[in-house]
Structure 1
Amino acid sequence: MAEEQDARTPTVIADDVHITYRVHSGRTAREVHAVKGVTFVAHRGEAIGLIGSNGSGKSTLLKAVAGLLPPARGRVYTRGQPSLLGVNAALMNELTGERNVVLGGLAMGMTRRQIRERYQRIVDFSGIDDKGDFSTLPMRTYSSGMAARLRFSIAAAKSHDVLMIDEALATGDAAFQRRSKARIAELRATAGTVFLVSHHHRTVTETCDRALWLEAGVLRMDGPAADVVAAYEADAKAKK
């Protein structure tokens, strides 16, 4: 019973969240209503996929959960510190991969000792040295995929109350994707909550047990990942 109660502990509550921002074009500006009245509760141990067409508000919603975009209306409540992959681990192009592991680790809340102990594991997990000694080269020499894999590897080197991943698993080969999915399972097992934004629906169904479908900023469906993906794909097919 205690384990069941712990598993249902809320980690994120979105209560009628509306997010707006202004887009400037020359001398004119227009207001974009990116997220419209979204409400959901996430719990410990859940992996939740966010799906929807481009511009549907998925990444904007994650930024609000991370505290980077204040809601125009409604509230977001979080338990612990949310970590948005690619923001907390803000890497610098002119520094080497090695230095960025240190910088990113510190940004994710690790101590220098923890970074030293986990450094080789981070580099090996990312695979950046598989085809050369890229950890000693500046980040600007990396492909976008290599940089994304390194960010994920840094973020995944510690446990998180709430970890949000935006398309990181779409990069890399099949072996990296398998390692990433296994690591997400481990993070969930340590009572964390994982959000995953992905256009690769197979990744969502294989990695997540639940999914949120956003369309034009509106939450269309919230339920088991396989059911939500099937409904989204059926809707997309009907519109063709």
Structure 2
Amino acid sequence: MTDIDEVDFEIDQEDLDTTPLVEVASDRLSLLVNDLHVSYRVFGAKKVGHGPGRKRGVLGRLLSRGAKDPAVREVKAVRGITFAAHHGEAIGIIGVNGSGKSTLLRAIAGLIPLAGGTVHVAGNPALLGVNAVLMKDLTGERNIMIGALALGLTPAQVKARFQEIVDFAGIGSFVNLPMKSYSSGMGARLRFAISASAVPDILMIDEALATGDAGFRAKSKAKMDEIRQSAGTVFLVSHSLATVQNMCTRVLWVHEGKLVMDGDPKEVCGRYKQFVAQHKEFARAKK
């Protein structure tokens, strides 16, 4: 179920980096998604309009095991999405909550099974926040080492890039403290810095930039340009249309698991903005 009445967070225009996007022309494919389907099951769903579900004991649950449970519902999160991405592209993915944006990224990264279709990747995808898993009880220093090694860097490379990662994340002396003492913004910035340190072939960022200030967004944009110039591809999921238009060369609009529109950031974001406004007006009229 989508949340059409969500807040469409917009960054003030003066806070955005006005540096034009670096043009990286390439006809080399980095990713091909063909008729992609992703489904998952929701357990424990209650029947609407029939009161509370009847509680069953251990014996009852054992006897009913294997039978079709009406409380198990299949959700089709991604339904027949097809697109191709080229080296050097920065692709934004927009849509209301529950539209399948994050599920699409996880499927591309190979983290969840496909119900149908195929995903062909030329290189190694790095999904921000997954490949660089942070452990709250360990210090930032230890997390940088573990996360960077997981991305394929050698111990010597991690040591050489350590200070650069700390400076990029802007955590200063907090690098010596456990992650549980960090704010959510500090954690998000450190995940970005670790994920981008390996200059992956495909970097996927899911709602990480909204926690940063204008300076961090400017550094993030520069890092994305660096990855694209190194023949990489960047995906950015965000509710901030201003951020998407400022940082991306192309936008995919996903709704209810389907690809609605694929094209120029200004055009796609404009159409999506109209869609959200119309549905908010419709929802208010029904009240």
1:16 corresponding residue in structure 2 = 35
Establish whether residue 116 from structure 1 lines up as the match of residue 156 from structure 2: no
Runs of 4+ in 1 over 3 A off after TM superposition: none
| Match of residue 62, structure 1, among 96, 105, 120 | 105
Determine the C-alpha separation between the residues in 2 that align with 1:173 and 1:223: 28
Q: Partners of 1:118 and 1:207 in 2: how far apart?
A: 25
Query: Could you tell me which amino acid in structure 1 is paired with residue 39 of structure 2?
Result: T
**Structure 1 contact 13–76 (Cα < 8 Å) conserved:** yes
2: CA distance, partners of 1:187 / 1:204: 17
Match 2:198 to one of 158, 180, 183? 158
SS in 1 for 2:129: coil
Which letter maps to 2:34?
D
- From 210, 220, 225, the equivalent of 2:260 is 220
Higher strand share: 1
Q: Distance in 2 between matches of 1:44 and 1:127?
A: 29
Q: Which 5+ residue runs of structure 1 have no aligned equivalent?
A: none
**Deviation of residue 159 (structure 1)?**
1.4
* 2:268 partner amino acid: V
Shift of the alpha carbon at 1:158? Answer: 2.1
1:104 maps to 147
How far does residue 117 in structure 1 lie from its aligned partner after superposition? 0.4
3-state SS, counterpart of residue 91 of structure 1: coil
| 3-state SS, counterpart of residue 197 of structure 2 | coil
| 1:95 aligns to 2:130 (yes or no) | no
Counterpart residue number, 1:179: 219
In structure 2, the partner of 1:73 is: 116
Q: CA deviation at 1:238?
A: 1.9
Structure 2: distance between partners of 1:8 and 1:160: 19
> Could you tell me how far 1:25 is from its partner in structure 2?
2.1
Contact 1:90–1:107 under 8 Å retained in 2: no
Q: CA deviation at 1:8?
A: 1.4
**Partner secondary structure for residue 72 of structure 2:** strand
Q: Percent identity?
A: 54
Q: Deviations over 1:113-164 (max 9, x none)?
A: 00000000100110111xxx21111001111111110000011112111110
Counterpart amino acid of residue 54 in structure 1: N
Aligned to 1:233: 273
Larger mean CA deviation between 55-64 and 69-78 belongs to 69-78
Question: Which one-letter code corresponds to 1:158 in the other structure?
Answer: A
2: CA distance, partners of 1:24 / 1:143? 33
Q: Structure 2: how far apart are the matches of 1:171 and 1:9?
A: 33
**What is the CA RMSD across the aligned residues, in angstroms?**
1.5
* Whole-angstrom distance in 1 between the partners of 2:191 and 2:206: 11
Total equivalences in the alignment: 234
Residue 44 (structure 1) aligns with? 87
Query: Equivalent residues in 2 for 1:118-137 (5 A)?
Result: 118-129=161-172, 133-137=173-177
Amino acid paired to 2:120 = Y
Distance 2:44 2:180 in 1: 30
Structure 1 or 2, whichever has the larger Rg, is 2
1:156 is paired with a residue whose SS is helix
Distance across 1 between alignment mates of 2:198 and 2:151 = 8
Supply the distance in 2 between the matched residues of 1:44 and 1:61 (Cα, whole angstroms): 19
C-alpha separation between the residues in 1 aligned to 2:148 and 2:116?
34
Tell me by how many angstroms 1:6 deviates: 7.7
Cα distance between partner residues in 2 of 1:83 and 1:156? 9
TM-score when normalising by structure 1: 0.94
CA distance in 2, matches of 1:66, 1:164: 8
Q: What whole-Å deviation, never above 9, does each CA across 1:192-222 have from its counterpart, x for those lacking one?
A: 0000000011110000010000001010000
Q: Is the 8 A contact 2:25 2:88 kept in 1?
A: no
